[in-house]
């Protein structure tokens, strides 16, 4: 059975499409989560919010709503390391920092940096790597502040069009930027990027804007036009509607991932890099679907 987690204010209100902002009103996010592990973990969450080697969190503080996704690098499994441990621990740490108020809404990279350095200083051994994307809605300023390291990412959709998005970061084909903790003596061998090199942005949002935050399992299998087609089915902002749409997007990406004849975005990117590839890309998929709403305490 597909597992869907939702989070948001029951009293939050929004109307889809084009409402003008009004000074003095705080905004919030109504968010639903859905995903799949790529193997036999269909729709099953591990401890916390994890689909396969992906992890995510949804948190609120008095000044902001914060979302995060991370994708554990599967290659660690060849060395006897569970890739999900790194991504899950990173997201749990970031979530705790938000709930404790140890962050500035305008600096999501500060959340990621603090979370990562806590992992580095952790007395319990932890090895692995992960991409990461964090989205912060500043309730008062009506701005989202984002940071993205690697090939997870987000879209902001307004009036059926993508009006803002993250930039993917790749060292080379299928090798995204990533945070890492290497075994002693292997620090110079394991690919590792600083959280400070994350792609950061700020963007003014409006009531009814849709924010889709996801790991690469979605974007490698569904191009924008398919995602937008699914988002058109979102007719109102009650939780059931958001959950249903999140489920529909995740399910379609999961099906396409195993279609050998489908020319996926990943396959197209591979061809652009001189590789003869066709079909979807089996992968863990995590989708956070959010609507910008008026906040009422």
Which of 27-36, 38-47, 72-81 shows the lowest mean pLDDT across its residues?
A: 38-47
Q: For the chain, first and last CA: distance in Å? A: 34
**87 touches 53 (CB < 8 A):** yes
Whole-number percent of the chain with pLDDT over 90: 80
What pLDDT is recorded for position 291? 97
Q: Is the pLDDT of residue 17 over 80?
A: no
**Strands 128-138, 179-181: parallel, antiparallel or unpaired by DSSP?**
antiparallel
Comparing 23 with 140, which gets the higher pLDDT? 140
What pLDDT is recorded for position 40? 45
Q: Is the pLDDT of residue 20 over 50?
A: no
Strand partners, 172: 175
Q: 207-218: per-residue pLDDT in tens? A: 999 999 999 999
Strand partners, 13: 294
What pLDDT is recorded for position 189? 80
Q: How far is CA 67 from the centre of its chain?
A: 7
- What's the mean per-residue pLDDT of the chain? 90
Comparing 187 with 4, which gets the higher pLDDT? 187
What pLDDT is recorded for position 45? 53
The residue extents of the domains of the chain are 27-214+234-251+284-294
Q: 102-154: per-residue pLDDT in tens? A: 999 999 999 999 999 999 998 778 999 999 999 999 999 999 999 999 999 99
For residues 73-93, one letter each, b for 16 or more C-beta atoms within 10 angstroms of the residue's C-beta and e for the rest, the string is beebeeeebebbbbbbbbbbb
**32 touches 5 (CB < 8 A):** yes
φ and ψ at residue 119, rounded to 5 degrees: -65, -40
User: Could you tell me which of 204, 179, 7 has the C-alpha nearest to residue 94?
Assistant: 179
| Beta strand ranges found along 21-108 (DSSP E) | 27-36, 50-51, 54-61, 64-72
Which of 44-48, 82-86, 250-254, 261-265 shows the lowest mean pLDDT across its residues?
A: 44-48
Q: According to DSSP H, which parts of 235-276 are helical?
A: 239-257, 265-272
Comparing 93 with 235, which gets the higher pLDDT? 93
CA–CA separation, 33 vs 144, rounded Å?
A: 19
Read off the pLDDT of each residue in 220-235 and give the average, rounded to a whole number.
96
Read off the pLDDT of each residue in 167-180 and give the average, rounded to a whole number.
96
Q: Which residue has tokens 């998005």?
A: 165
Q: Is the pLDDT of residue 29 over 50?
A: yes
Residue 296 confidence class, pLDDT cut points 50, 70, 90: confident
CATH tag for 27-214+234-251+284-294 (out of 3.40.50.720, 3.80.30.20, 1.10.3720.10, 3.60.40.10): 3.60.40.10
Q: Quick one: 236 exposed, middle or buried, by C-beta within 10 A (0-12, 13-18, 19+)?
A: exposed
- Select, from the ranges 34-43, 73-82, 142-151, 186-195, the one with the highest average predicted confidence (pLDDT): 142-151
CA–CA separation, 248 vs 41, rounded Å?
A: 18
SS3 assignment, position 6: strand
Whole-number percent of the chain with pLDDT over 70: 89
């Amino acid at each position: 059975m597909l597992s869907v987690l939702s989070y948001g204010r029951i009293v939050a209100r929004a109307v889809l499409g084009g409402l003008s902002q009004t000074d003095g009103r705080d905004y919030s996010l109504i968010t639903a989560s859905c995903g799949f592990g790529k193997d036999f973990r269909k729709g099953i969450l591990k401890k916390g919010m994890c689909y396969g080697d992906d992890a995510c969190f949804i948190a609120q503080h008095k000044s902001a709503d914060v979302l995060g996704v991370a994708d554990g690098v599967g290659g660690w499994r060849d060395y006897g390391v569970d890739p999900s441990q790194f991504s899950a621990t990173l997201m749990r740490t970031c979530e705790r920092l938000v709930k404790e108020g140890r962050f500035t809404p305008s600096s999501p990279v500060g959340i990621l940096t603090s979370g990562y350095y806590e992992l580095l200083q952790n007395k319990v051994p932890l090895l692995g790597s992960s991409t990461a994307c964090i989205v912060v809605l500043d309730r008062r300023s009506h701005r989202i502040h984002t940071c993205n390291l690697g090939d997870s990412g987000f879209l902001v959709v307004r009036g059926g069009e993508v009006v803002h998005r993250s930039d993917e970061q790749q060292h080379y084909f299928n090798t995204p930027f990533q945070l890492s903790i290497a075994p002693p003596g292997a620090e110079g061998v394991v690919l590792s990027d600083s959280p400070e090199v994350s792609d950061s942005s700020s963007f003014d949002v409006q009531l009814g804007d849709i924010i889709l935050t996801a790991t690469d399992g979605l974007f490698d299998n569904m191009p924008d036009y398919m995602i937008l087609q699914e988002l058109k089915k979102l007719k109102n902002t009650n939780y059931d509607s958001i959950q249903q749409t999140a489920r529909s997007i995740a399910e379609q990406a999961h099906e396409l991932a195993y279609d050998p004849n489908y020319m996926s975005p990943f396959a197209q990117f591979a061809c652009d890099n001189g590789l003869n590839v066709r079909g979807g890309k089996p992968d863990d998929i995590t989708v956070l679907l959010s609507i910008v709403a008026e906040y009422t305490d």
